[in-house]
Structure 1
Amino acid sequence: MLLILLIAGFAVIGGVTHASMAARLNAQLTEDLSNAAQRVIGQIKRQFSPNAPSDPTGQQQLGTLSALYLQGNTSFAPSYTDPKNPGRDSIALGASDTEQIERLASGATSSLTVDRRLEIGDYRVLVQPVTLTFGNGSVVQGVLVVGLPLDEVRRTLGTLDLSMMLVSLGGIVLIGTLGTVLISRALRPLARVSAVASAVAEQPLEKGEVDVAVRVAPEDAIPGTEVGNVGAALNSLLDNVDGALEVRARSEARMRRFAADASHELRTPLAAIQGYSELIGATEALSDDGDRSLGRVREQTRRMTELVENLLLLARLDEGRTPASEPVDLTRLAVDLSRDFTVAAKDHRWKLEFDAEHPVLVTGDEPQLNRVLQNLMSNARKHTSDGTTVTVGVGTTADGQALLTVTDNGEGIDPEFLDKVFDRFARADAARSGSLPTTGLGLSIVKAIVDSHGGRISVESEPGRTRFSVRLPLAP
């Protein structure tokens, strides 16, 4: 915008200057034309009256055109002085130029000034009726034609325009450079404030356990200026965010501690309930209703035990403990689990895709990685209809990572639920048609284990195809 204003300003100044100079040069040319006419008349009088006084206005300008028509006859044919040969006599005009001059002179009753393009160049021509009185007392009526070249005026205006253009361009460059430097210097504090905001925006605030220690420098957070007000407000906001994150972190830590403690404390009574139910079933003679009720107790105890174990595992993973570091053969894990599910879950078809000649090795905790694949396969079984084909794939990616996939050709996941599949206690019962009960923690555990191993898990789903992909660093 500043550049546009500068260009517009220089254009206006240049236009006004050009118009003013053009008016002045045209006025000067008109005056010179009048003087030239007087000199021509003086020269004519001296030719007929040698005693006539000399012309005080001096010599004619180079390139002056002149012609005189007395009482309708050509007394002095149109001619001009050649500016390229100052010492040469006047040169007669060509036929075309002579014809134009004669047309202007014919029938002239008053002074007329016009611009004409002649073969010898562009001229300003004065056509003026004159009355000549000679020394013998004779009076003659005639028409005087005098012209001066326009080249000098146009050359002067062209030089002026070029000079103003160069000056304007230099001024724009100079002012633009200085303006850029000054604006850049004035905006440096704002850039530093923006850098602080960008640094905070890149923090993983969703994890909660983040220390937002970055702040706007004191010199950029002094209230009273626009930048200072913004810096001070940003520092206040960051203080509030930092405090809120600390409160959230403490609350989540207490919740994790509570979940771990409660789960740990529940393991003993649940084990006792499971044991006593098994003992009653083995030693007591129960009715059919009693057997069914005792079976329900065992089933619910098993589910409760599974939930407690899952909560304990999540609590340990949330503590950020580094997993064990040992070579793990993903191909062997996939083979073993595929055999187990083929036997235990005959209501589904299980397929395995891998390269037997190239085992895929990663570094990590084998039981946890086994849990990852087991949960993904169990999830596919629970949430798809009988007869669904589940394919387990093991391989590597083009960028050198281990790739573990579990793909089924079931009904797919509801798009509205897809971004929540890894949330804790998220249940996809409305999205998938399986009927087996779930705790809603299986995929949360999978993601937590994969994250702790420096990997990444993703899901893509559409009707007829759902794929979970786990990428892990290959073992060195």
Structure 2
Amino acid sequence: MTSGPGLAGPNQEAHRQMAQSPAGAHGAHGAPGSQPGRARWQRWLEGWRLRSKLLVATLALLLITCLTIGFFSHAVMSVFLTRQLDQTLLGASDRALGLQAPHGRLPDPDRDPLDAPGQGRIGMIGVRITDGELISGGVVTPDGTRAALPESDAEILAAVPVVREPVTRNLSVGEYRLVAQPQPGAPGTAIVSGLPLAERNNTLFSLGLTIAGVSAVGLVLTGVLGYLIIRRALQPLEQVSAIATQVATMPLEAGDVNLPERVPEELTHPTTEVGSVGLAFNRMLDNVSHALAVRQRSETQVRQFVADASHELRTPLTSIRGYTEMVRLTEDLSANGRQSLGRVEAESLRMTGLVEDLLLLARLDEGRGEIRKEVDLTQLVIESVSDARVAAQDHSWTISVPEEPVVVQGDPGQLRQVLINLLTNGGRHTDPGTTVSTTLAAAAGGGAVITVADNGHGIPKPFQEHIFSRFTRADAARSGRAASSGLGLAIVAAIVSAHRGSISLDSEPGRTVFTVRLPGRGSGAEPGRSAG
């Protein structure tokens, strides 16, 4: 249904806005913006191996610990050195003040603050400031002399609070801790003393380098040793993974399956994580092995029953056919009687064919009756197509074979049955007038490729997956003719598999292609069939 222009109201507008808004676009998958990034981060981490995650987590924790220790060590050392420098600075400031007032007299305004004993430390600053102007003083140079300070430094020194509390200032000669105290007996005059922070800064820088170097060495050693320890600790888990991989590659779909692989007993201790995994894995393998054994016994019993029943049915079926023939020859039957007797004979023949098919499948399942000799597929294909043309004259039959003979190793009778079943399938389950094409070609590297194609209605997808299984019928989808036993293609798949070949199906409306690949003379086993 479609809505007219008159129905485009507030509801549609609201839906449109919701679809365009970020919340509407991502509401079903979480918060917008953050969820995709988080998903990428999770996918990135999921691709890492467990040992890598453990090693990175260990190094990250160690790095955080080193950074924390380094930060607090640097902070504590900075406070300690600054406090120590301030004590020295306050002592120097007090000595400078005491020099200005010896023997209780008023300060001598003409004396330099650096003339006091102990004031000759390299880099030390001692100046007298009166009404914001530098009167005297300077800085001790590395050669022990005194140098005047530039005007810019004088302005900074004059701005130091006169409160006997050290402050940090940047001067032209470097970073300094400064303290200003009033000069006794001289209003408006202050003595400013300063010590450089270069030594403290150098000490902190050396401490930082030491912590960084020790941390780097510790991280490298931890990474190497941690990798070795984690690798050794996860070795049992890798052994369990290797055993699981071996089991995963075993063919468990058919046949007698044996699972000898087990996790060693020393890796199944229930008190450890890896031991718990190993113990659980062994229990799972025991359960699977038991289930496979039960399945195999059941399949063997069914196959034996089918083989025995088929073999036992051959005698009564032969008797039925014999008695039917005798009745036809010795009794005077009405038209209805002859028709009924003909139906009995036809059904006995059909049942005989079904029994023979079941016996053949039983022999193929048991691997018996293999005859290996050179078979000329060219002649076999030509004869089989000729027989199919006679049996279904209402179809169009085409054939394409190479000029050179194509020879394989196998059972000529079984390979002939493969061709007959495929051609019969194409003729029986398609409408009159359908073209059935048979092509034979030599495969690269030896072997042969046989294709049987028709332009019928095709095979529905649900039946294609099970087309080579026994008693599978898709007759209604191919034509309206009488249903078959459903064993023809199963026999084809079994014979091809016994010849170490493969068979595949490609079907769509208007084209159905069966492709049989057989190995050449002396070739090894090819991969299993792709269907059936």
Does residue 1:8 correspond to 2:49, yes or no?
Answer: no
Does residue 1:298 correspond to 2:345, yes or no?
Answer: yes
Which deviates the most, 148-157 or 362-371?
148-157
Code of the residue aligned with 1:30 in structure 2: it is: D
Maintained 8 Å contact 1:39/1:60: no
Maintained 8 Å contact 2:120/2:144: no
Does residue 1:215 correspond to 2:268, yes or no?
Answer: no
Q: What is the Cα deviation at residue 384 of structure 1?
A: 2.7
Match of 1:342 among 360, 366, 389: 389
Which deviates the most, 323-332 or 419-428?
323-332
CA RMSD across the alignment: 3.3
Tell me the equivalent position of 1:136. none
Code of the residue aligned with 1:60 in structure 2: it is: R
**C-alpha distance in 1, partners of 2:143/2:424?**
114
Q: 1:120–1:228: structure 2 CA closer, same or farther, 3 Å change rule?
A: same
Maintained 8 Å contact 1:113/1:124: no
Q: 1:12–1:307: structure 2 CA closer, same or farther, 3 Å change rule?
A: same
**C-alpha distance in 1, partners of 2:322/2:520?**
43
Match of 2:133 among 52, 58, 73: 73
Tell me the equivalent position of 2:152. 99
How do 1:103-118 residues align onto structure 2 when only pairs under 5 Å count?
A: 103=156, 105-106=158-159, 108-111=161-164, 113-118=166-171
Tell me the equivalent position of 1:388. 434
Q: 1:191–1:72: structure 2 CA closer, same or farther, 3 Å change rule?
A: closer
Q: What is the Cα deviation at residue 178 of structure 1?
A: 3.0
Tell me the equivalent position of 2:500. 454
Does residue 1:26 correspond to 2:82, yes or no?
Answer: yes
**C-alpha distance in 2, partners of 1:234/1:450?**
37
Tell me the equivalent position of 2:370. 323
Q: How far does the alpha carbon of each residue in 1:82-129 deviate from its partner, in whole angstroms, 9 at most, with x for none?
A: 5xxx216344445xxx335415515845356544444444x1342514
**C-alpha distance in 2, partners of 1:417/1:226?**
46
Q: What is the Cα deviation at residue 448 of structure 1?
A: 1.3
Q: How far does the alpha carbon of each residue in 1:383-421 deviate from its partner, in whole angstroms, 9 at most, with x for none?
A: 333333333232355576532222233323222222211
**C-alpha distance in 2, partners of 1:4/1:370?**
70
Code of the residue aligned with 1:110 in structure 2: it is: V
Tell me the equivalent position of 2:456. 410
How do 1:53-452 residues align onto structure 2 when only pairs under 5 Å count?
A: 55-57=116-118, 59-62=120-123, 64-76=124-136, 79-82=138-141, 86-87=142-143, 89-94=145-150, 98-99=151-152, 101-103=154-156, 105-106=158-159, 108-111=161-164, 113-121=166-174, 123-132=175-184, 139=186, 141-281=188-328, 284-321=331-368, 323-357=370-404, 359-397=405-443, 402-452=448-498
Code of the residue aligned with 2:433 in structure 1: it is: G
Code of the residue aligned with 1:126 in structure 2: it is: L
> Any idea what SS the aligned residue of 1:328 has?
strand
Q: What is the Cα deviation at residue 292 of structure 1?
A: 2.8
Q: 1:211–1:20: structure 2 CA closer, same or farther, 3 Å change rule?
A: same
Q: How far does the alpha carbon of each residue in 1:250-287 deviate from its partner, in whole angstroms, 9 at most, with x for none?
A: 33323222222221222222223223334444555543
> Any idea what SS the aligned residue of 2:451 has?
strand
Maintained 8 Å contact 1:39/1:55: yes
**C-alpha distance in 1, partners of 2:246/2:74?**
55
**C-alpha distance in 2, partners of 1:49/1:100?**
21
Q: What is the Cα deviation at residue 444 of structure 1?
A: 1.4
**C-alpha distance in 1, partners of 2:308/2:243?**
40
Q: 1:208–1:473: structure 2 CA closer, same or farther, 3 Å change rule?
A: closer
Maintained 8 Å contact 2:130/2:189: yes
Listed as ranges, the gaps of 5+ residues in structure 2 are 1-56, 103-107, 523-532
Q: How far does the alpha carbon of each residue in 1:8-58 deviate from its partner, in whole angstroms, 9 at most, with x for none?
A: 222222222222222223323333443454566578789967899974545
> Any idea what SS the aligned residue of 2:339 has?
helix
Q: 1:99–1:220: structure 2 CA closer, same or farther, 3 Å change rule?
A: closer
**C-alpha distance in 2, partners of 1:186/1:321?**
51
> Any idea what SS the aligned residue of 1:261 has?
helix
**C-alpha distance in 1, partners of 2:318/2:113?**
145
Q: What is the Cα deviation at residue 342 of structure 1?
A: 2.7
| Matched pairs, number | 461
**C-alpha distance in 2, partners of 1:438/1:397?**
32
> Any idea what SS the aligned residue of 2:439 has?
strand
Q: What is the Cα deviation at residue 318 of structure 1?
A: 0.9
Code of the residue aligned with 2:464 in structure 1: it is: L
Q: 1:451–1:119: structure 2 CA closer, same or farther, 3 Å change rule?
A: farther
> Any idea what SS the aligned residue of 1:207 has?
coil
Q: What is the Cα deviation at residue 442 of structure 1?
A: 1.4
Q: 1:53–1:172: structure 2 CA closer, same or farther, 3 Å change rule?
A: closer
Q: When the two structures are superposed, what TM-score results if normalisation uses the length of structure 1?
A: 0.84
> Any idea what SS the aligned residue of 2:262 has?
coil
**C-alpha distance in 2, partners of 1:161/1:267?**
97
Q: 1:320–1:130: structure 2 CA closer, same or farther, 3 Å change rule?
A: same
Code of the residue aligned with 2:129 in structure 1: it is: Y
**C-alpha distance in 1, partners of 2:317/2:89?**
122
Q: When the two structures are superposed, what TM-score results if normalisation uses the length of structure 2?
A: 0.76
Q: 1:404–1:104: structure 2 CA closer, same or farther, 3 Å change rule?
A: farther
**C-alpha distance in 2, partners of 1:92/1:465?**
105
> Any idea what SS the aligned residue of 1:206 has?
coil
